[in-house]
Amino acid sequence: MAVTKDEVEKIAKLAKLKFSDKELEDFTPQINEILGYMEKLNELDTEKVEPLSHPVEQKNVFREDKLKSSITTEEALKNAPSKDEHHFKVPKVIGDK
Amino acid sequence: MNPKYEAVIGLEVHAQLLTESKIFCSCSTKFGNEPNSNTCPVCLGHPGVLPVLNKKVVEFTVLMGLATNCKINQQSIFARKNYFYPDLPKGYQISQYEEPICEHGFIEVNPKNGSSKKIGITRIHMEEDAGKSIHDQSSATLVDVNRCGVPLMEIVSEPDIRTSEEAYLYLNNIKKIVQYLGICDGNMEEGSLRCDANISVRLKGENKFGVKTEIKNMNSFRNVERAIDYEINRQIDLIEEGEVIVQQTLLWDADANEAYPMRSKEEANDYRYFPDPDLLPVIVDDEWKTEISKSLPELPETKYKRFISDFSLPVYDAEILTQTKSLADYYESVISITDDYKTASNWVISEVLAVVNEKKIDISDFPITAVNLGKLINLIKVGTISGKIAKEVFALMLQDNSDPEQIVKDKNLVQISDTSEIESIIQKIIESNQAQVQEYLGGKEKVFGFFVGQVMKETRGKANPKLVNEILRKMLR
């Protein structure tokens, strides 16, 4: 099941990446190569194997519902490239999710 | 609605859980704080941080599952729902996709005309809320991350709903249940309970579903009903005109009373879910499930039925009294003092709720305690005071929750039920109002009311009205 150039372009778009036509040409066979390598796993018979949801065997790691003081607004906004006194500022978003 | 058609409706309800801290970090969930003051590196999505699940979120969601007849999955896992939006700093929302915590439940609704109906619940899962974008500036969008990571429970129904009334009842039942459980305040106007609807229509008898649309942004119970009716009719009109329904997401505009299509992005709904490697599976074994189920209160539906069967209340009374747990609790405390169930119901529904609604307070802040209201009702029941005087006493009690027995004693309001005392008062009134006596005896029945009024005036309303009537009739012969 080979990935097409269109699909690579779509994946790039979903990741907000922009590639030139040349790059898309280059990446398509590369991605297919990686997928082909992983394909090898399908040779195994997993019929009787429970699906693995997490590689670590530990379960139920929780916090109690307790507040801990955290950082100030000023600290929260410190790394923001654009901000006002209380908010992060981002390029105007129109429309909805 | 055109009777040839039927609507197929499914609801997705998001409920904000009433925890102190967020779902994956120890920041406050408090609403209304300064923007970006309830944040930390985890909910800000800084690199290298790890989410740790709030145990209470699991307990609350299991509680909801138990209250809605769901199967509680022994294992459930978290997944990443990937999309880019400024109010989602990580670039993904942690949610549950495969293996949600609760599945296959139902809620019963009782439509006005028709028998009760079960609405299936497909799943209930845990997830985090996103932040808030503020678009009112012309040059930029502002982002407040405070709400980011506030715990949500999403309840997805089966497409079992057929009318806007059923949708309303289903939603109202969810609201009642979450409030009874104390896991969400259920306020749609403030966004702690949110509802999206998937709607399609088809000819009656057809088994296949039509093309569906999704309506969002219905921020009140009335709007849910109105928006659903609007969309059903819009779809039927299109089909009748030979047009096709386009699958799309619509936003409800309450002021315009119509829905308009949301700007869709090309990649909408391509969320590329995958299991979140940062979070371990959640295991709810039987022991934990049993432990959680111990905090399950009597549910609104059960209480409603019990109020009808045990206290012989009319459906109307039972419905109102069980709308919130605090009101039902108040009523039950009142009738632990008095066994006059219907009178107690009347007082709670008309007098108490009138004050509660007027002052916009919760019943828990109502100044008169249930015990004192119960005593007041008993005073009427045994004939110590009349219903009319009781309303005066009630008004005094509202000021400082004073004991009605004390008020009646202090203000000397005890009903006069002593026949000879009433007789002597009437005798005096007859003597000094001879003209009216002649009118009455001459056949002017209306004058009777004048005498009753005189007796009440003389006794400051304390005379037993029934006795006054009887004795007057006798003495005016």
Euclidean distance between CA atoms B196 and B10, whole angstroms: 9
Contact (Cβ atoms closer than 8 angstroms) between residue B452 and residue B472? yes
Q: Which pLDDT does position A29 carry in this prediction?
A: 93
Q: Is the pLDDT of residue B267 over 70?
A: no
At B299 the three-state DSSP class reads coil
Domain ranges (residues) in chain A: 5-42
Distance of CA B370 to the CA centre of its chain: 21
Q: What is the pLDDT of residue B461?
A: 79
Tell me the two tokens of residue B135.
Answer: 């678009």
B447-458 vs B465-475: helix axis angle to the nearest 10?
130
Task: At B140, list the tokens.
Answer: 């930029």
Question: Which residue from B28, B143, B277 is facing A90, i.e. has the nearest CB?
Answer: B143
Of A66, A90, A94, the CB nearest to B26: A66
A-interface mutation test, from B280, B285, B289, most A Cβ less than 10 A away: B280
The nearest CA of chain B is from the CA of A94 a distance in Å of: 8
Q: Which two tokens stand for residue B345?
A: 């119901």
Q: Does B33 touch chain A (CB under 8 A)?
A: no
B262/A84 CB distance under 8 A: no
Query: Which B positions 72-131 lie with beta carbon below 8 A of chain A?
Result: 75, 77, 82-86, 99
Mean pLDDT calculated for residue range B419-445: 83
Say what the ipTM of the complex is: 0.87
Q: Residue A13: its chain B contacts at CB < 8 A?
A: 266-267
What average pLDDT does chain A have? 88
Of A71, A86, A97, the CB nearest to B35: A86
Give tens-digit pLDDT for B295-329: 999 999 999 999 999 999 999 999 999 998 999 99
Residues B453-467: tens digit of each pLDDT: 888 888 877 788 888
Which chain A residues touch B if contact means CB-CB below 8 Å? Answer: 10, 13-14, 16, 53-56, 58-68, 70-73, 76-77, 82, 84, 86-97
The encoded tokens of residue B242 equal 């030979």
The DSSP letter of residue B326 is: H
Domain B419-475 has CATH 1.10.10.410: yes
Q: Is the pLDDT of residue B138 over 80?
A: no
Taking 80 as the threshold, does the pLDDT of residue B268 lie above it? no
Residues of chain B with CATH 1.10.10.410: 419-475
Q: Say if CB B118 and CB B108 are below 8 A apart.
A: yes
pLDDT digits (tens, 9 = 90+) for B239-263: 999 898 888 889 998 888 888 887 6
CA B225 to chain centre: 16
| Residue B16, CA atoms < 13 Å, CB-side half-sphere | 23
The amino acid at A71: I
Q: Determine the residue of chain B that is closest to A88 in CA distance.
A: B143
pTM for this model (two decimals): 0.84
- Please give the Cα distance from B455 to B476 (Å, whole number): 13
Amino acid found at A46: T
Q: Which two tokens stand for residue B288?
A: 């934990």
Predicted pLDDT at A1: 58
Judge: B26–A61 Cβ closer than 8 Å, yes or no: no
Whether B77 and A70 lie within 8 Å, measured CB to CB: no
Q: Residue B267 and residue A95: Cβ atoms within 8 Å? A: no
pLDDT value for B313: 93
| pLDDT, tens digit (0-9, with 9 covering 90-100), for B156-179 | 999 999 999 999 999 999 999 999
Could you tell me if B433 lies within 8 Å of chain A, comparing CB atoms? no
Phi-psi region of B91 (alpha: psi -120 to 50; beta: other; left: phi over 0): left
Asked if the Cβ–Cβ distance from B272 to A94 is below 8 Å, we say no
Interface test with B, best of A53, A85, A92, A93 (most B CBs within 10 A): A53
Q: Which residue, chain included where needed, has tokens 């896992």?
A: B77
Which residues 351-390 of B have a C-beta within 8 angstroms of A? none
Strands B151-157 and B5-16: antiparallel
Alpha helices in B285-386 (DSSP H): 286-293, 300-311, 315-321, 325-334, 341-346, 353-359, 370-381
pLDDT at B437: 83
A53 confidence band (pLDDT: 50, 70, 90): confident
Confidence of residue A96 (pLDDT cuts 50, 70, 90): very low
Tell me the pLDDT band of B273, cut-offs 50, 70 and 90.
very high
CB contact under 8 A, B52 and A54: no
Shortest Cα–Cα distance, B156 to chain A (Å): 20
B280 at interface of A, judged by CB pairs closer than 8 A:
yes
Provide mean pLDDT across the span B384-398.
Answer: 86
Going by the DSSP 8-state scheme, the letter that residue B348 receives in this structure is I
Substitution target from A11, A88, A94 for chain B, most B beta carbons within 10 A: A88
**Pairs from B336-341 (Cβ < 8 Å, separation ≥ 24):** B336/B370, B336/B374, B337/B370, B337/B371, B337/B373, B337/B374, B337/B375, B337/B377, B337/B378, B338/B374, B338/B375, B338/B377, B338/B378, B338/B381, B340/B377, B340/B378, B340/B381, B341/B311, B341/B312, B341/B313
* A contact test, residue of B24, B36, B84, B269 with most A CBs within 10 A: B36
List, in order, residues 6 or more apart from A66 with CB less than 8 Å away.
B20, B21, B26
Q: What does the pLDDT read at residue B52? A: 96
Which DSSP letter does residue B416 get?
A: B
Between chains, do A76 and B20 touch, taking CB under 8 Å as contact? no
Say which of B26, B36, B38 has its CB closest to residue A63: B26
pLDDT in tens, B19-42: 999 999 999 999 888 999 999 999
